[in-house]
């Protein structure tokens, strides 16, 4: 009690902590937590990716023996998941918070739990579980061993010890922690709908929700993905990106080459959403992207 009165700072923190955590607060907190741990805080990859794994800060940097601790927010595009903003928690564009720790430190599970606690998540109020899920990304030739983290039956995070990237074994296996930011926020803000997420923390007329900012984006992109994307042009783009990727590898320009590979992958995802790729062709396209990713990763390792 004495310290409580003596140190007004503690009171202030207590007051601050009971305030609603906004979407942006949660991101700040996670960034701060991991920066304190020793991560470099990077910014998103500026091309369309399906997951933070595709950021070169994950894929390429996971290879090799050098230390690499990084955290960043990555907007993700999954064209097929679009629901014209009508589904409360399925969207074709969403945010991941991605952490890569290479090498994996001792007890990263606990670090993770501390990080969400810092972001305002009440661990004592929920049923959190590590449920087996050996993650695989066939397009990137990446595979790992780990879990989905469940909160009251809902997957909120993917937790993976990488074993392989670009078809190559990780000599120093990193751990990848991928937070589903919207899902975690719905638990922290105690709401049911992604579009209701309070983005800026205001409760007055300046309050902005996820829906205010992204609903129109979601609707228009759903239409684009499913109904209007130009199939012939996309098919052409895919081939172009593939050629360009190969050409750039031949000059040992691995990062630009890798970017072409990622773009090809997004083209494929769009074509898939347009429903023009048959089951047989699908496997073929994935194999082509994987071949590019593999070549990039090999070349990356060879030119270190």
For other proteins, the binding residues (CB under 8 A) are 87-90, 103-107, 109, 123-132, 134, 145, 147, 151-154, 161, 163, 172-173, 187, 190, 192, 278-281, 283
Nearest approach in angstroms of CB 49 to other proteins is: 23
Distance CA 207, CA 202 (A): 4
- Minimum gap (Å) between residue 262 Cβ and other proteins: 25
Residue appearing with tokens 């205010």: 212
Distance CA 178, CA 158 (A): 5
C-beta closer to other proteins: residue 10 or 131: 131
Q: Considering beta carbons, is residue 2 or 280 the nearer one to other proteins?
A: 280
Nearest distance in Å: CB 240, other proteins: 25
Half-sphere exposure in the Cβ direction for 174 (13 Å, CA) = 27
**Max CA separation in the chain (angstroms):** 73
Closest approach of Cβ 268 to other proteins, in Å? Answer: 17
Integer-rounded Cα radius of gyration of the chain: 21
- Looking at the DSSP bridge assignments, the partners of residue 179 are 97, 157
Sort strands 154-165 and 142-151 into parallel, antiparallel or unpaired. Answer: antiparallel
Nearer to other proteins by Cβ, of 88 and 211: the residue is: 88
Q: In the bound complex, what is the minimum distance in angstroms from residue 278's beta carbon to other proteins? A: 4
Task: Name which of 124 and 203 has its Cβ closer to other proteins.
Answer: 124
Of 105 and 230, which has the nearer Cβ to other proteins? Answer: 105
CA neighbor of 116 nearest in space, from 249, 234, 26: 26
Question: CB-wise, 113 or 291, nearer to other proteins?
Answer: 113
- φ and ψ at residue 213, rounded to 5 degrees: -85, -40
**Shortest Å distance, C-beta 257 to other proteins:** 29
CB of 147 to other proteins, least distance (A): 6
Distance between CA 246 and CA 299 in Å, rounded? 11
Cβ contact 99:70 at 8 Å: yes
Residue among 32 and 118 whose Cβ is closer to other proteins: 118
In SS3 terms, 190-234 reads as CCCCHHHCECCCCCCCCCCEHHHHHHHHHHHHHHHHHHHCCHHHH
Q: How far is CA 158 from the centre of its chain?
A: 9
């Amino acid at each position: 009690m004495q310290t409580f009165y003596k140190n007004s700072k503690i009171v202030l923190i207590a007051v601050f902590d009971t305030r609603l955590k906004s979407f942006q607060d949660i991101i700040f907190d996670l960034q701060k937590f991991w920066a304190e741990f020793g991560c470099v805080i990077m910014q998103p990859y500026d091309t369309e990716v399906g997951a933070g794994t595709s950021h070169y800060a994950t894929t390429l940097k996971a290879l090799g023996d050098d230390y690499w601790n990084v955290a960043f927010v990555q907007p993700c595009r999954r064209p097929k998941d679009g629901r014209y903003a009508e589904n409360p928690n399925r969207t074709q564009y969403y945010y991941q918070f991605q952490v890569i720790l290479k090498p994996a430190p001792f007890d990263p599970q606990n670090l993770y739990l501390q990080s969400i606690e810092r972001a305002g998540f009440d661990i004592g109020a929920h049923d959190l579980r590590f449920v087996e899920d050996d993650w695989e990304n066939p397009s990137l030739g990446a595979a790992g061993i780990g879990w989905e983290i469940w909160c009251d039956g809902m997957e909120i995070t993917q937790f993976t010890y990488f074993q392989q990237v670009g078809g190559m074994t990780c000599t120093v296996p990193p751990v990848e922690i991928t937070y589903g930011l919207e899902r975690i926020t719905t638990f922290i803000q105690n709401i049911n709908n992604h579009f209701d997420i309070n983005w800026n923390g205001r409760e007055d007329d300046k309050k902005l929700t996820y829906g205010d900012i992204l609903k129109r984006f979601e609707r228009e992109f759903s239409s684009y993905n499913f109904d209007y994307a130009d199939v012939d042009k996309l098919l052409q783009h895919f081939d172009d990106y593939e050629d360009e990727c190969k050409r750039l590898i031949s000059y040992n320009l691995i990062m630009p080459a890798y970017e072409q590979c990622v773009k090809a992958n997004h083209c494929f995802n769009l074509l898939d959403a347009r429903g023009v790729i048959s089951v047989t062709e699908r496997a073929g396209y994935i194999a082509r992207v994987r071949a590019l990713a593999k070549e990039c990763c090999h070349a990356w390792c060879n030119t270190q």
